Chains A and B, each alone.
Chain A
């Protein structure tokens, strides 16, 4: 455990401090990218393909210029200098699909941008876009989407760990399940957007960009448009949700940047909801299969998995790999497997490219595995929880069959506690009574339980087999001449309250109040390099980098105080914005005075060496953190309509030491809500000809307030051994375990009538169909 030193007591960390971000958000003052308007700004609208697979014969770029309000039109030729986007994975076996900003030769999915119109406002830009005629010649679907990838399979990896074939050979039972994890859309309330502003006088490009990774976006944009990185600035004042979909650098951003550079006017593109649903951040679509070999007592001897993700038309973003890689790697979970073999990969198809989406890979592996375990229990005639107990690892550190080292957690404790809270035994009695035909018709009640573990805060040593995403994170802590503390973060909040949690940590370090700490994120000019926010990493990296930098600043501060107060280090205390001598109330110096002395008092400066009370520090955890928990859900299924009502959802969560339990609970609730959407409501549909069918929020069903039950939460705190301050990354575990628990619960509810459902979401129609098949 790294040193987490505070002189003051833990006054703020661990408390439900109300968020500093909130007043601005509540009064409508917070500005998101779409709210930024610059003088002389042009608005950008795209012309998008109506066909999923066609050769571009011609694009009429002249007609729109005659439309009132249109200023310019960009076609593929105008963007030929822009470097194509290629994924940044280091996997030898990966076949690349470089993506040009505007494809000149062919379109590969409905909604692919083919031309851009710039106008005085979005109304005129869309008028201009309507005037662009794109002549397309449909291509044969048998033709490869990318010439270099004849069968569309751009990546395939197989591996075997431990004893697998022999285990299956001697197994008393072999259980097999498959799962079609549906295509979904991240659908944050704020769609994507960019305002690109090029200063011709200085050659600097500033982009207001709704992005989860400002520094990475900066590097990618700079490389694409041919500018030095230091001439590019990314600013995001606030982001209205990301969930993974704003990790990628979209060709639309590149288009806006190039337009700004060429036209010498700011350019804004705001993705409208129609674009977002048609061609925006899709996620998750994967065909998965799982087999388990069990002995006569229900001990799992080995498992085999297959994952094949439908990545969409390009594999040039990180989303093209994480889904099936993380899916394959997270199958073992909290279960002790003697052997595990996986076969995983992705194909390109005529659909929108997928992005990472919260619970990436895990929603699929978790759901499939827990459903299989329930199936196994039924086959063996063993209670479903008892089967889990026979296979779950004991609380404490664990090395998985894949060689992953889990730090200590409360795996079993959380599981048993969740069963207590949901009253599992009592529910079984209740369920049995409801199934008897005393009530006409019988009530279909079901219960599902899913323990989960989530690795987060992965350092550069621990990247998942060639995938980027390790740590290159730094934070800067500084005390200015007014004695005010600022902290610049490597992460970027899109609703997770980083401003508040970071302020709580810094407040404790320096004996001030959180509202006295200025937290800066989302601006590449004001923050050191960081990898941004994704994969539940922020808690770990904020704590780690801020601690590393803050300790250095605090040490300097105390050194100044030692000199000025002529006191020993161990007699000093940081309280209420000043440093004082313990027990001597009138010997105190305020931070401003200490900062002034550091800068301007020659004798102090000579001692310090560096007169600025600032430090930038890097943090790279040698090992990731592992949070865990269990989600239990009870449901009732309407036997006529197949509609699912969720009765209760219980979450037991252990994310180590919590900085702000209120924020942790918010993440849990939000993750559970998305899990409910995934399990029961959300699906993105293409018809056989590649045309999207779910292009508005009336067809794509994001959970509403009336869809969600109250969510009961209880915490366990097993401090992390790897995360500074005992903090573990969290927020994707609940999102992954919720569809697993709900799938198990629904299948349990209809178990007397069969359980052949193998696709998400569990729509009323699908459930009704299963019931009808059994004669209900």
Chain B
């Protein structure tokens, strides 16, 4: 399990990196933390001719707060983001990503760009209505999370574009992150069978949900929002019946894949259980 040969580029400015991507396009892969890319290269599933290492670009390693947003640069390691704590939902989710050593190297933006449908970070970005900042020789653009994730490992990123940051709106929303893995007794594992990233605003009296977002990983070709369920919850009292109905809607809205880890029926059962538990947590005083 050794990778194929490649040419290695280590630009020290964003401009150089973008220029290189512009020139090499889909011949090149971006190397940030490498925790998703290098396993694929070791297995020879991926064999890019060129690797553009972006971790020597100082500006990308910052977590910036401005104007009601938190911006995590492409070089921000997961462990760094976990410690930072600005986004409680992101912090809660990151605990479940791989293992500590993986998080010391892997980057938050790398997980977003990789777009594994079972990955936690894309679900968090989706739940928070976050954004992805892309840059290329053709200029910078910002894409809403829901528009960014397309399908299995497929995003709106063009081959010559670099994900330079993700942006999370600052919010006081309540958050909950729950994950089921094949491991025992709720312990974290390598990946999620199903995970839910949820946020809720309660109304002024704290008796009703004002707005809820429910994003799932591991249930479809990409991370998805359960918008049908969210609609039902908007303005509703979090009674057991309402929660159960929302859980059913969330499960009914997807056609989960069958794979070696779970049958679609089981994934739907997990969606129902996790939706229920997340909403109960969000509603509890």
A residues sitting closer than 8 Å to B (CB atoms) are 122-123, 126-127, 130, 272-274, 636, 638, 640-646, 676, 680-681, 685, 693-694, 696-699, 701, 704, 706-708, 763-765, 768-769, 772
Contacts and interface: CB of A to CB of B under 8 A. Distances in A.
Contacts of A643: 180, 184-186
A765 B262 contact: yes
B260 interface: yes
Interface string B50-91: 000000000000000000000000000000000000000000
A644 B260 contact: no
B183 interface: yes
A698 B1 contact: no
A75 to B, nearest CB: 22
B185 A122 contact: no
A644 B184 contact: yes
Nearest to B272: A640
Interface string B1-19: 1111100000000000000
Contacts of B191: 698
A765 B266 contact: yes
A131 to B, nearest CB: 11
18 contacts: A274-B43, A638-B186, A640-B270, A640-B272, A640-B273, A641-B273, A642-B266, A645-B185, A645-B186, A646-B185, A680-B184, A696-B43, A699-B260, A707-B185, A707-B187, A708-B184, A765-B263, A772-B265
A127 B3 CA distance: 9
Overall SS of chain B's interface: loop
List 6 A-B pairs, minimum CB-CB distance, nearest first. Answer: A645-B185, A640-B273, A706-B187, A765-B266, A123-B2, A693-B260
A120 B277 CA distance: 56
A685 B263 contact: no
B190 interface: yes
Contacts of B263: 765, 769
B270 A641 contact: yes
B154 interface: no
B269 A704 contact: no
Nearest to B183: A707
Contacts of A701: 182-183, 189
A122 B190 CA distance: 27
Contacts of A636: 185
Interface in B32-52: 43-44
Interface string B245-282: 00000000000000011110110011011001100000
Contacts of B4: 127, 130
Given A130-B44, A644-B184, A698-B191, A685 B2 contact: no
B261 A769 contact: no
Contacts of A696: 43
A644 B185 contact: yes
A706 B273 contact: no
B273 A681 contact: no
Contact of B261 (A122, A638, A644, A699): A699
B188 interface: yes
Given A122-B2, A123-B2, A127-B5, A704 B260 contact: no
A706 B182 contact: no
B3 to A, nearest CB: 8
B182 A694 contact: no
Contacts of A693: 260
Contacts, number: 83
Contacts of B269: 640-641, 768, 772
Nearest to B259: A693
A123 B269 CA distance: 45
Nearest to A687: B260
A706 B99 CA distance: 12
A273 B1 contact: yes
Q: Give the residue among B1, B5, B188 with the most A Cβ atoms within 10 A.
A: B1
A763 B182 CA distance: 7
A643 B187 CA distance: 10
Nearest to B47: A130
Contact of A681 (B3, B184, B188, B265): B184
Nearest to A693: B260
A768 B266 contact: yes
Contacts of A772: 265, 269
Contacts of A680: 184
Nearest to A129: B44
A653 to B, nearest CB: 23
Contacts of B182: 681, 701, 763-764
Nearest to A639: B273
A643 B270 CA distance: 11
A680 B185 CA distance: 11
B22 to A, nearest CB: 29
A370 B244 CA distance: 39
A450 to B, nearest CB: 19
A698 B184 contact: no
Contact of A694 (B43, B260, B266, B272): B260
A704 B186 contact: no
A645 B184 contact: yes
Contacts of A127: 4-5
B184 A272 contact: no
A213 to B, nearest CB: 28
Q: Give the residue among A126, A701, A706, A765 with the most B Cβ atoms within 10 A.
A: A765
A245 to B, nearest CB: 19
Contacts of B265: 769, 772
Nearest to B263: A765
Contacts of A273: 1
A750 B182 CA distance: 18
Given A640-B273, A765-B266, A768-B266, A704 B2 contact: no
A696 B261 CA distance: 13
Nearest to A694: B260
A110 B78 CA distance: 37
A483 B174 CA distance: 74
Contact of B183 (A272, A638, A706): A706
Contacts of A768: 266, 269
B184 A646 contact: yes
B44 A126 contact: yes
A326 to B, nearest CB: 28
A493 to B, nearest CB: 28
Contacts of A676: 184
Contacts of B266: 642, 764-765, 768-769
Contacts of B43: 274, 696
A685 B262 CA distance: 13
Given A640-B269, A643-B185, A644-B184, A272 B1 contact: yes
A272 B186 CA distance: 30
Given A272-B1, A696-B43, 13 more contacts: A123-B3, A126-B44, A127-B4, A636-B185, A638-B186, A640-B272, A641-B273, A643-B186, A681-B183, A693-B260, A699-B261, A768-B269, A769-B263
A685 B183 contact: no
A661 B276 CA distance: 49
A722 B282 CA distance: 65
A704 B189 CA distance: 9
Nearest to A700: B260
A731 B180 CA distance: 33
Nearest to A676: B184
A764 B43 CA distance: 29
A385 to B, nearest CB: 25
Q: Give the residue among A704, A708, A769 with the most B Cβ atoms within 10 A.
A: A704
A646 B273 CA distance: 21
A685 B44 contact: no
A685 B182 CA distance: 15
Contacts of B185: 636, 643-646, 707
A640 B244 CA distance: 13
A766 to B, nearest CB: 9
A643 B181 CA distance: 9
Contacts of B44: 126, 130
A643 B3 CA distance: 37
Nearest to A683: B260
B187 A704 contact: yes
Contacts of A707: 183-185, 187
